[in-house]
Structure 1
Amino acid sequence: MDKVIQKKRFSKKTILIIAGTIIFVGLVAYGYSLSLNKVYKADPDKVTISKVQYGDFEDVVLLNASVVPLTSVIVSSSEGGTVAEIFTENGASVVKGTPLLRIANANAMLGYTSSQTAATEQINQLRKSRLDLEQNQRVLNQDLLDVENNLRTATRQYKLDSSLFAKKVITLQEFNKSSQDYEYYQGKRKIVKQAILQENQSRKMQLAQIDQSMAQMNESLEMIRKNIENMTIKAPVSGKLSSYDPVIGKSYGANEMIGKIDVLQGYKLQAGVDEYYINRVKEGQTAQCEFNGKTYKLTVKKVIPEVTASQFQVELAFEGKSPDELRRGLSMQVKLTLSDNSKSLLLSQGQFFQSTGGSWVFVVNNGKATKRNVKIGRKNYLYYEVLEGLQKGEEVITSSYDQFNQYDIIEISK
């Protein structure tokens, strides 16, 4: 008896076609998903992964500071010129007034000499004017003496002739002569006295003007002498000479720095600070440093806000006496405190910040890292303060993102 053989629903060929189609669609879908989310396979040895912590955020910044004298005085020349003689070497200890070098300037010396000659001539002319005034005074005084002498003689004669004329011993003509002489010398004495009074008033004013002019001329001469003396540069204070490297023939402009004198009265620290902190560093903030095994406290005394090479400068003074072993140029690390410690989420510092500016990070989970927006607050020499976007215990790639910052997913293969 014949059997009925049922026909298979799917042939082997059909099954292979369906399977192939499913695989193809899966590959297309996977490829499409990859096109939407760019994936980068990173070598785990070349990335740094840090865990988010919760703890005290120490709001400090580490500075590399240099030791500089507490007070330095700039040495300069009021008149430019070339170096003619050098008397002292760099690093020498000097006292105030010690000659350092001599500047030569032929044009300036010629001008000084001409001015000195002109001032001397004016002083001599003023002295002559004073002598002329004194001579005129003597002449008038002599005239007054002569007039008064003649008046005394005329007065005696007038009195005598008045008595004789009353007794009719002399004639009227003789009496009139003596009377006329008496009146003449009285009038002349009055005129001479008025002339002397006017001369004294005028002489007083002229002498005051002469004295003022002579004082000005003498001040000019003194200034000229000082300018000539200043061609020899002298130490303005006692201390140690630094930044001083003149050579014979080297030219310096007027008021150009020739060197410095470090006044040996103690030291301070000077440090460059990253411009990131320019709004947070203020005078009066405290700091500390270690030197020869001891910790010293410091205070920010001056903030210089001009930014050069992405840094601004601060000066820090020791609280109390500075260490005796300090010398100019020594370097030391200073920990500057910006504010009190506070509890916060902490993320280790890394080069990722240069790529993202702290606006996002790659968060690692099960061997894959994905982008996540975050908010970073303050930073210190170890950590960033995390304000938003991360939780305690999460892991973050903190090394550089330069190779994969354009990707969405980082696969960290093992």
Structure 2
Amino acid sequence: MDKIIEKKRFSTKKILMLTGGLLLAVLMGYGYKLSLNKVYKADADKLTISKVKYGDFEDVVLLNASVVPLTSVIVSSPEGGTVAEIFTENGASVVKGTPLLRIANPNALSNYTSSETSIIEQINQLRKVRLDLEQNQRVMAQDMMVIENTLRTAGRKYKIDSALFLNKVITREEFNTSSQDYEYNKGRKAILKQAVKQENQSRTMQLQQIDVSVTRMNESLETIRKNIENMTIKAPVSGRLSSYDPVIGKSYTANEMLGKIDVMQGYKLQAGVDEYYINRVKEGQSANCEFNGKTYRLTVRKVIPEVTAGQFQVELVFEGKSPDELRRGLSLQVKLTLSDNSKSLLLAQGQFFQSTGGSWVFVLKDGKAQKRNVKIGRKNYLYYEIMEGLQKDEEVITSSYDQFNQYDIVEVSK
């Protein structure tokens, strides 16, 4: 009897065909991948190539600082108006109280004058009330004197008539008349005395209120007169006038800056810092600068965190006396220390950072530079601190990548 032989699912021929097809697909995929690698050819003379170093990372930043006075006082007008007269020029040395210019404001002046007249009238009215109160006090005092005199007379007559009546020299009617007169004047005195007491209490309160009102009105009057006087702007302190450029007829609003007075008691430095360092610059940090061949130590006194045009401002003061030769407007290069030195891999700064943001670089080997991801930490005025991705002595293109940042390989020819 014949035996049925099962047909194999994969014959040797099919296996060989599948293996060959798979190998061909892999080779084609690899070739396609190679075709995607864009190659850019560049001359070595047009590139900057830096070698990765290992050494001390100096955590400092260089600043271009301007010399400004240690203290400046703003000059402004409490009242708006137009410039009517100018008495001083920019750059002049002034002492406290020196007239600088006069502001004209007819409306404000008219209001001040009207208010002054009204207040003076109110003060005069209150003074008249005071005089009336004092006059009333004198009248009541005179009335009291009259009543006391009448009471004494009536008292003497009553005393005499009492003795005469006991001796039956006068009649009861005469005695009763004397007695009634005495009691009447006695009652009048008591009533007037109570009225005087109440009047004195009321007068005391009114006089106190009048005094307070007059004092406040005089203060308001003084303020008005001071505001009128302040239309002539005077130097608030002694020093040198700067940022001062008024023109006859120029208008200023209330409290608008007219200029500054630099108090000549020393200098400080003011510098803009890249916003990259905004979380690392703190008050109290040390810095130094060179001037006329000498090195001076400074301290960060103020950090102004508002960022403008990619920078924030810091103020630095000299530790000790500032150099005598300093003048406003001079520029000095300051080295600001952010932290202590530390050992690190170092890569020279370059324009490549603007193209990659520091996330990758072209690493050069055997004439070809390929992309490599890196991690950059801190930076100073010379180097970037390399945290990951590079080794000592490797070469990196650190010039601009603008021409080839879309390429995968850069062939460098000498």
TM-score, normalised via structure 2 length: 0.91
Taking the aligned partners of 1:132 and 1:170, their CA distance within structure 2 comes to 48
Q: Deviations over 1:84-110 (max 9, x none)?
A: 111111111111111111111111111
Taking the aligned partners of 1:326 and 1:256, their CA distance within structure 2 comes to 30
Report the count of equivalent residues: 387
Taking the aligned partners of 2:156 and 2:305, their CA distance within structure 1 comes to 96
Deviation at 1:176, TM superposition (A): 1.9
Taking the aligned partners of 1:255 and 1:283, their CA distance within structure 2 comes to 31
Q: Deviations over 1:166-221 (max 9, x none)?
A: 33332322222222111111111111111100100111111111111111111110
- Corresponding residue number in structure 1 for 2:363: 363
- Corresponding residue number in structure 1 for 2:243: 243
Aligned counterparts, 1:121-140, within 5 A:
121-140=121-140
Taking the aligned partners of 1:289 and 1:134, their CA distance within structure 2 comes to 76
Q: Deviations over 1:119-139 (max 9, x none)?
A: 111101100111111111111
Q: Is 1:373 equivalent to 2:362 in the alignment?
A: no
Deviation at 1:406, TM superposition (A): 0.5
Gaps spanning 5+ residues in structure 1: where? Answer: 1-27
Letter in 1 for 2:343: K
Aligned counterparts, 1:9-408, within 5 A:
32=32, 35-408=35-408
- Corresponding residue number in structure 2 for 1:7: none
Q: Deviations over 1:250-307 (max 9, x none)?
A: 1111111111111111000000000011111111111110001111000111111110
Mean Cα deviation higher: 228-237 or 157-166: 157-166
TM-score, normalised via structure 1 length: 0.91
Taking the aligned partners of 2:144 and 2:29, their CA distance within structure 1 comes to 135
SS state of the match for residue 170, structure 1?
coil
Q: Deviations over 1:49-92 (max 9, x none)?
A: 11111111111110000001111111111111111111111111
Gaps spanning 5+ residues in structure 2: where? Answer: 1-27
SS state of the match for residue 130, structure 1?
helix
Q: Deviations over 1:341-377 (max 9, x none)?
A: 1111111100000011111100111111111111111
The percentage of aligned residue pairs carrying the same residue is 82
Taking the aligned partners of 2:356 and 2:241, their CA distance within structure 1 comes to 49
Taking the aligned partners of 2:302 and 2:409, their CA distance within structure 1 comes to 48
Taking the aligned partners of 2:100 and 2:33, their CA distance within structure 1 comes to 80
Letter in 2 for 1:92: A
Taking the aligned partners of 1:70 and 1:30, their CA distance within structure 2 comes to 69
Taking the aligned partners of 2:97 and 2:103, their CA distance within structure 1 comes to 16
Taking the aligned partners of 1:292 and 1:30, their CA distance within structure 2 comes to 65
Taking the aligned partners of 2:191 and 2:391, their CA distance within structure 1 comes to 114
Taking the aligned partners of 2:174 and 2:58, their CA distance within structure 1 comes to 124
Taking the aligned partners of 2:29 and 2:309, their CA distance within structure 1 comes to 51
Taking the aligned partners of 1:164 and 1:286, their CA distance within structure 2 comes to 111
Letter in 2 for 1:261: I
Letter in 2 for 1:205: M
Taking the aligned partners of 1:107 and 1:342, their CA distance within structure 2 comes to 68
Taking the aligned partners of 1:190 and 1:31, their CA distance within structure 2 comes to 130
Taking the aligned partners of 1:117 and 1:60, their CA distance within structure 2 comes to 66
Letter in 1 for 2:167: K
Please report the RMSD computed on the Cα atoms of aligned residues, expressed in angstroms: 1.4
Taking the aligned partners of 1:32 and 1:214, their CA distance within structure 2 comes to 99
